């Protein structure tokens, strides 16, 4: 038992004292920790690289990539909460980081979750305008407006998540020692139903945008199918190819987002409707599985960019290995018979994003 008066669990737990108080058995905890640490390393390195690629490479500063760079910042902030979650798994009590970090870690996780889904939705709207209303998009979608939109999305997401800052805290039951301090929802939040309400708000933040994404992608797919049947010049074909490449990347990102975040929201619904011990145990294990997918979603996007986009790979190589990238560019230009091919490829880069 972890403390006097707590219920017995149906499996043997490791001893719970001031040095170690795990939330799960060791045979579950060790592989989960290994997976999470791997996701943390890959996610931090990949998202930092994405931010550097978008901010440093002139050819990558398109409106689409501005959204993707901002999403990488959001994913980095989400990953900053992973060490605290691992700490709670290994040592559920006492919480030693203070009241502010307890609240801030939950608040940033929720706020960045909202921010990511809003970015994906806004990015899909931008692609919808560019493909279905190209003339209007040239006037409406500018880098300056996109930067302003990104600022508004961040502000709205962080404001929407602000109740979570007050719904959690460091709780210590009466007549218990300092060892029993935990970072968890406050009794007021549980008793008043505010926590359950915010969980439903979070679920709506997922369901409504995903529904919007499905409608927008259906419209985009219909427009691309129609455009493929028309006869047009080389410039139109080049633009269409760029649109298809961008949509292919975004579709993979959205699919990964849905797959990774759907269990997270299902787990929350199970948690707020739990009434018996058996369901509580199932909820605990399911939410641990969902937690890993949640952090996978914050780590996987740079990997997807690298797999799907040649342009991203070239920009990352140029950033990490500038000497090798310069030598390769010179060789390609020489084999192409001069600078004509190089200039054409440069124009092609501006018609596409990642």
Confidence of residue 108 (pLDDT cuts 50, 70, 90): very high
- How many Cα neighbours within 13 Å face the side chain of 211? 6
Q: What separation in angstroms does the CA of 160 have from each of 63, 109, 131, 237?
A: 25, 12, 31, 42
Tell whether 349 is covered by a domain: no
pLDDT of residue 118 exceeding 80: yes
Tell whether 203 is covered by a domain: yes
Asked if 127 and 220 count as a contact pair (C-beta separation under 8 A), the reply is yes
- Tell me the angle at which helices 277-308 and 310-320 cross, rounded to the nearest 10 degrees: 80
- Only one residue has tokens 């549980």, namely 190
Which residue has better confidence, 101 or 191? 101
Tell whether 315 is covered by a domain: no
- The CATH number of whichever domain residue 222 belongs to comes to 1.20.1070.10
**What confidence score (pLDDT) does residue 346 get?**
35
For 49-58, 118-127, 184-193, which range has the lowest pLDDT when averaged over its residues? 184-193
Which residue has better confidence, 135 or 280? 135
Tell whether 42 is covered by a domain: yes
pLDDT of residue 207 exceeding 50: yes
Confidence of residue 221 (pLDDT cuts 50, 70, 90): confident
Question: Domain of 243?
Answer: 27-309
Confidence of residue 5 (pLDDT cuts 50, 70, 90): very low
Give the β-pairing of 168-171 and 182-185: antiparallel
Tell whether 341 is covered by a domain: no
Tell whether 316 is covered by a domain: no
pLDDT of residue 230 exceeding 60: no
Task: Look at phi and psi of residue 114 and say left if phi exceeds 0, alpha if psi is from -120 to 50, else beta.
Answer: alpha
Tell whether 188 is covered by a domain: yes
Asked if 105 and 81 count as a contact pair (C-beta separation under 8 A), the reply is yes
pLDDT of residue 123 exceeding 70: yes
Q: Domains in the chain: how many in total?
A: 1
Q: What is the mean pLDDT of residues 300-306?
A: 84
Q: What separation in angstroms does the CA of 207 have from each of 120, 165, 184?
A: 13, 23, 26
DSSP 8-state code for residue 337: T
Residue 193, helix vs strand vs coil = coil
**What confidence score (pLDDT) does residue 347 get?**
35
- Which residues lie closer than 8 Å to 102 by C-beta, 6 or more apart? 95, 168, 169, 170, 183
**What confidence score (pLDDT) does residue 79 get?**
94
CA 159 from chain centre, in angstroms, equals 18
Please provide the average confidence, as pLDDT, over all residues in the chain. 77
**What confidence score (pLDDT) does residue 29 get?**
86
Tell whether 146 is covered by a domain: yes
């Amino acid at each position: 038992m972890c403390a006097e008066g707590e219920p017995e669990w149906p499996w043997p737990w490791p001893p719970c004292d001031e040095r170690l108080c795990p939330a799960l058995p060791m045979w579950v905890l060790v592989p989960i920790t290994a997976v999470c640490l791997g996701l943390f390393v890959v996610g931090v390195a990949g998202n930092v690289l994405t931010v550097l690629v978008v901010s440093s490479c002139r050819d990558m500063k398109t409106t689409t990539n501005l959204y993707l760079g901002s999403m990488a910042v959001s994913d980095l902030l989400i990953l900053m909460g992973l060490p605290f979650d691992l700490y709670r798994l290994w040592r559920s009590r006492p919480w030693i980081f203070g009241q502010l970090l307890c609240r801030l870690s939950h608040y940033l996780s929720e706020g960045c979750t909202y921010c990511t889904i809003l970015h994906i939705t806004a990015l899909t709207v931008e692609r919808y305008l560019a493909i279905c209303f190209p003339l209007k998009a040239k006037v409406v979608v500018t880098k300056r407006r996109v930067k302003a939109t990104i600022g508004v999305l961040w502000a709205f997401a962080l404001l929407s998540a602000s109740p979570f800052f007050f719904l959690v805290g460091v709780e210590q039951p009466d007549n218990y020692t300092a060892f029993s301090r935990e970072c968890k929802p406050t009794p007021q939040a549980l008793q008043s139903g505010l926590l359950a309400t915010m969980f439903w708000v979070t679920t709506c933040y997922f369901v409504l945008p995903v529904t919007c994404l499905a409608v927008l992608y259906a419209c985009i797919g219909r427009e691309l199918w129609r455009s493929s049947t028309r006869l047009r010049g080389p410039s139109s074909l080049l633009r269409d190819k760029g649109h298809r490449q961008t949509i292919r990347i975004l579709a993979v990102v959205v699919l990964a987002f849905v797959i990774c975040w759907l269990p997270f929201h299902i787990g929350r619904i199970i948690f707020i409707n739990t009434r018996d011990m058996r369901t509580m145990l199932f909820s605990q294990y399911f939410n641990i599985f969902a937690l890993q997918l949640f952090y996978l979603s914050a780590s996987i996007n740079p990997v997807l960019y690298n797999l799907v986009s040649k342009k991203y790979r070239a920009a990352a190589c140029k950033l990490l290995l500038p000497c090798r990238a310069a030598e390769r560019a010179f060789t390609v230009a020489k084999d192409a018979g001069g600078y004509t091919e190089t200039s054409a490829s440069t124009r092609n880069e501006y018609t596409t994003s990642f």
